[in-house]
Structure 1
Amino acid sequence: MGSPKKNESKGFFAAMTSGLSMFGNAMHRSVNGFLGYEGVEVINPEGGKEDAEEEAQRGRWKQEERESYWKMMHKYIGSDVTSMVTLPVLIFEPMTMLQKMAELMEYSYLLDEADKCEDPYLRLVYASSWAISVYYAYQRTWKPFNPILGETYEMANHGGITFISEQVSHHPPMSAGHAENEHFTYDVTSKLKTKFLGNSLDVYPVGRTRVTLKKDGVVLDLVPPPTKVNNLIFGRTWVDSPGEMIMSNLTTGDKVVLYFQPCGWFGAGRYEVDGYVYNADEEPKILMTGKWNESLSYQPCDLEGEPLQGTELKEVWHVADAPKNDKFQYTYFAHKLNSFDTAPKKLLASDSRLRPDRYALEKGDLSKAGAEKSSLEERQRAEKRTREAKGHQFTPRWFDLTDEVTTTPWGDLEIYRYNGKYTEHRATVDSSDSTNEADITSIEFSPWQYGNLSTE
């Protein structure tokens, strides 16, 4: 195959919504060697002066901003900066982490196909392709807003899906999400952990993602690789996620192991993903190969992992067209997530779309966005002081903290479970006769536990 076109979306901060399970390392064999599939992108991933100038021209950084930011940040080297509140708004995108969780739903038709599929191995091809598909969106050059405690995000009008996510903890920052249609349910508890390394950032996806396919009731568990954000301050920012992604069928023991190739010099190997679907006896059944920013294909294989005679490589997923020269490198789907057109009737006042800082940034008013962001963060601190003074505990509205604790390589994870109340709420609202609703954009953002809180 020829070299891929140069991609302008060099990511900043991957919002990894998926989780970890306890599968051990699985054996990996390079499918590229069998298929002669190579792609060399002639870029220098380390960046340089020209890249820095281009970033400045695009409005992201000016040289003096880089230098002042570096002076502020260098003292945090080696630290977890997940919940820092001092980051400048100029590096943000007008979207929250809760909305980025919903980006996994863009290619949800792949989960529909997995549910309808009779072949247990092809089912994993579809489901793992769904998990890979979001990486195209995760390479953006901007950081999403950290949600306020109690903040939510709702989505409707996409593939029959009802989606709800909620910020369930502030320290440590944790989110929970639930999506459902006639074919599947999707449940995630997400807790990001980071390590700031100077001009790069390691992102560890401490979380758990489960997908249940309704027809047969099989449960799929997803384990993504860590992510490294390179050239965070100097040079062109770009994301790499070298390592294994494992999706396991907890019902049957089948699994798929996909290996993200690390980016080499001049971009060699960047974007490449390959691996196998294995049966419960860890015998390879189907090989998979492709690029996470373009497409994925599959082909039946023998016990040595080589393509079966008389079979062809078939494409299972292809990235959708994206807007050209979009300011925030948004896909069409990302724009839909920010749109009030995807908002259900009687949108919750805690919804991310209503955040005044996010909305100001979307409209291009960085000064107002920065002021609103500071105001929200101070209100959140005031709520915490009030809660502690009253001896109260924050209780999420749509998710319940369980007694279950999952061990991950980067620490323990407390599991939140969807409590079903949002389904009841939405059914009640949708069945109401109210049609003359106020303008959604006039709703005041309110994730607060205490309605008349004094911020003294």
Structure 2
Amino acid sequence: MLLKAALDQPAIEHAIQPIEMLEYETELDSETEDETIANLSKILKAKFKELQTCESLIQKDGTELLDALSRELPTGSISRTTLDRLILFKMTAGAMLEASKEFTIATSKEIENLQQNSSSPNSILKEKMKKKKENFKLLSNGKPRRHETEDDEFFDAIESSSLISADDLSKTSTSSNVSTPIPPPSPSERRTSVPYRPSNSINYLTLMKNCIGKDLSRISMPVDFNEPISALQKQTEDLEYSFILDRAVNESDETKRLALVTIFALSSYSTIGKRTTKPFNPMLGETFDFDRRNDLGWKSVAEQVSHHPPTSALAAQSLHGWSLNQSYTFTTKVKGRSLCMTPIGGTYVKFHNTNDLFVYEKVSTSTRMTNIMTGNLQTDNYGELCVKNLKTNSKCILKFHESGYFTKTEPRKVSGEVLDSDGKAKFRIEGSWDKSATLFKIDEDENIEEEEIVWKAASLPKNADKMHNFTKFAIELNELEDGLPPTDSRLRPDQRLMEDGKWSQANEVKQKLEESQRERRKKREEAGIEYEPLWFKRKDSSEMVDQNDVYTFNENYWEKREKQEYENIPEIFKLG
């Protein structure tokens, strides 16, 4: 039954369709004849390359799949990994059918153009068709191309794990706009752009094959899949819309305070929809501070406090009377054609004037591949975000609706109700996690008394699609400043090289940094020394609000930062 279920999984959408010329004719009608022929030639080459890629993967993956089935079928059970391989194999076959269809359409169109425009159509047509037949023979009758060696295996800093090298995927172009180092700007002169991301071609099929069933937080991947910020900086992005907390802390209605905190929690998901690359996994002991008191009224510090499991802690204090603490462990795995990220931990927001303590856990995120050949990705959040006020016992449950092919749910929709301590609904929240949230005040019969759009996502900067789809806030995260401690993410060399477009160098430096980290870990284990974070201390169980309230921040950080006292801080980014 499991085998049948795997084979019944849908392949690539629209993998087998009637051949229609309309999609190509629409593009070609507005072009000149020379442009049309040139574009058709380019399309043919691209589609033929896709066919070759599929054929190679089917040969390799098919053999591996048959070997696995021959071992497991006699036992009467099939492993989860083999089921994932079955789904992936069917996806590859579907992609090959899709590429074949498009190749046929493009070929037919080129033949039509040749018949109409060529001075000697018969001779040229025969020659082109001869070449195409030879190419198809290579695909259908050629000898299987087997890889001589398996993918390289390395040990990451946590435990035995595989490193997927860039060579396993595709050669990456390193040409891009490279920034020239400049003196660190003052906070009032923050940068408004980053170097453009180089265009590259990545074999996502190979990536998924190597990652099936594995925790990606324990796999060292090439920078091709990264954005030039660390997970600590990404965590700090939760504070982008802090003005919502500034407003909430002065709100007299306690249920409305809860509603505003919930909308603040929702706003942290606004960048996920357009950014499908992953941040750099922080080194153990890596830190990131962001002092925005001059313009936003808060300052924050984040630290990678554990590497097994990988855990980041963050503490923020605001001049407006609130503080925020959180720590999360993220597990990331590939399942079929989806990359699923599950956060484990909690966020705690305290209002000092009312002693309100709001607690919530983040929802899961799934990135799904919609086109396996081009690597088109679609990200969605799902689950329920429950925000509680532990002082008043009121709560808000915000549902992240899953969108699908057979549902009429508005994409990325969220909805929920704010309940007082007696369980009565006082407010309703509706919106979308990537755009906006509207707050409705309701009476006992749930009639709307007032409504207000509390939050709207900021527009992306000009050319954001070329700059990792960064917001203005994200662009500012990796900007160099004076007096940074040696563990700060902005001083991480591989991340800086990646931002500057030097991806080959970044990959080399990244491997060296990880090797150095493994050496430090080995020395600690040999000496029997347990690692302790520098700026976050584990709480005693009697101090914890709940099981997720693990770390407390050492306020001495800011004093050391101001005095530049970094003598006892390890240089984790030092090479060699």
* Short-chain TM bin: 0.7 to 0.9
Q: Given the alignment, which residue of 256, 279, 291 partners 1:122?
A: 256
Provide the residue aligned with 2:136 in structure 1: none
Provide the rounded CA distance (Å) in 1 between the counterparts of 2:237 and 2:490: 15
**Matched residue SS, 1:367:** helix
Tell me if structure 2 keeps the 8 A contact 1:154–1:163.
yes
Residue 351 of structure 1 corresponds to which residue in structure 2?
488
Task: Please give the residue correspondences for 1:132-281 in structure 2 after superposition, counting only pairs within 5 Å.
Answer: 132-139=266-273, 140-157=275-292, 158-182=295-319, 183-231=321-369, 234=372, 235-265=375-405, 268-281=409-422
Counterparts in 2 of 1:62 and 1:208: CA distance versus 1, 3 Å: same
Asked if 1:102 corresponds to 2:236, the answer is yes
User: Mapping of 1:249-328 within 5 angstroms?
Assistant: 249-265=389-405, 268-304=409-445, 306-308=446-448, 311-326=449-464, 327=466, 328=468
Q: Deviations over 1:337-389 (max 9, x none)?
A: 1212xx4x521111001111110011011101111111110110011111122
Task: Name the CA distance, whole Å, in 2 between partners of 1:60 and 1:207.
Answer: 36
Could you tell me how far apart the structure 2 residues matched to 1:71 and 1:276 are?
42
The CA deviation at 1:317 is 0.7
Instruction: Go from structure 1 to structure 2 and tell me whether the alpha carbon gap of 1:299 and 1:70 turns closer, same or farther (over 3 Å shift).
Output: closer
Task: Return 116-125 or 397-406, whichever deviates more.
Answer: 397-406
Letter in 1 for 2:474: A
Given the alignment, which residue of 515, 539, 546 partners 1:378? 515
1:81 alignment counterpart: 216
Q: Distance in 1 between matches of 2:430 and 2:364?
A: 20
Which SS does the other structure have where 1:155 is aligned? strand
**Aligned partner of residue 399 in structure 2, secondary structure:** strand
On the 8 A contact 1:287/1:307 being kept in 2, the answer is no
Which residue, 315, 335, 345 being the options, matches 2:475? 335
> What amino acid sits opposite 2:415 in the alignment?
D
Q: TM-score, normalised by structure 2?
A: 0.60
**Structure 2: tracts of 5 or more residues without a match:** 1-93, 100-171, 174-196
Larger radius of gyration, structure 1 or 2? 2
**Residues 70 and 129 (structure 1), Cα distance of their counterparts in 2 relative to 1, 3 Å cut:** closer
- Deviation, 1:240, is 1.2
Which structure has the highest helix share of the two? 2
Equivalent AA in structure 2 for residue 381 of structure 1:
R
Q: Name the CA distance, whole Å, in 1 between partners of 2:410 and 2:509.
A: 42
Give the direction of change, closer, same or farther, for the CA distance of 1:414–1:272 in structure 2 (3 Å limit): closer
- What is residue 400 of structure 1 aligned with on the other side? 537
Write the distance in 1 (CA, Å) between the matches of 2:402 and 2:200: 27
Q: Name 1:62's counterpart in structure 2.
A: 201
Counterpart Cα distance in 2 of 1:221 and 1:60 = 41
- Secondary structure at 1:386 match in 2: helix
Cα separation, 2, equivalents of 1:296 and 1:452: 45
Superimposed CA distance per residue, residues 74-109 of structure 1 (whole angstroms, 9 cap, x where no aligned partner): xxx233222211x12111100000001110111111
- Name the aligned partner's letter for residue 415 of structure 1: V
Most deviating of 189-198 and 174-183: 189-198
Higher relative CO (Cα under 8 Å, sequence separation at least 6) belongs to 1
- The whole-number CA distance in structure 2 between the counterparts of 1:261 and 1:91 is 27
Distance (Å, rounded) in 2 between the aligned partners of 1:299 and 1:60 = 44
Q: Secondary structure at the match of 1:360?
A: helix
Describe the shift of the 1:201–1:219 C-alpha distance in structure 2 as closer, same or farther (beyond 3 A): same
Q: Provide the rounded CA distance (Å) in 2 between the counterparts of 1:190 and 1:60.
A: 32
Moved more, 412-421 or 252-261: 412-421
1-side partners of 2:475 and 2:570: how far apart? 23
What CA deviation, in whole Å up to 9, does each residue of 1:286-309 have, x standing for no partner? Answer: 0111112211111111335x233x
Change (3 A) 1:171 1:104: same
Unaligned runs of 5+ in 1: 1-46, 51-55, 433-442
In the alignment, which residue of structure 1 is the partner of 2:265? 131
The 3 A distance-change label for structure 1 pair 68 and 452 is closer
Q: Give 1:414 shift.
A: 7.4
Name the SS of the counterpart of 2:450 in structure 1.
coil
Given the alignment of the two structures, is residue 93 of structure 1 paired with residue 234 of structure 2, yes or no? no
- Cα displacement (A) at 1:232: 8.3
2:44 is matched with none
Q: 1:218, 1:62 → 2: CA distance?
A: 50
CA RMSD, Structure 1 to Structure 2 (Å): 3.0
Q: Contact between 1:274 and 1:289, CA under 8 Å: does it hold in 2?
A: yes
Report the secondary structure of 1:242's partner residue.
strand
Q: CA deviation at 1:205?
A: 0.9
Aligned residue number for residue 29 of structure 1? none
Residues 205 and 60 (structure 1 numbering): CA distance in 2 closer, same or farther, change over 3 Å?
A: farther
Whether the 8 Å contact between 2:303 and 2:313 is mirrored in structure 1 is yes
Q: Which amino acid counterpart does residue 271 of structure 2 have in structure 1?
A: A
SS of the residue corresponding to residue 350 of structure 1 reads coil
Aligned residues: 374
Aligned partner (choices 364, 376, 383) of residue 501 of structure 2: 364
Give the aligned partner of residue 113 of structure 1: 247
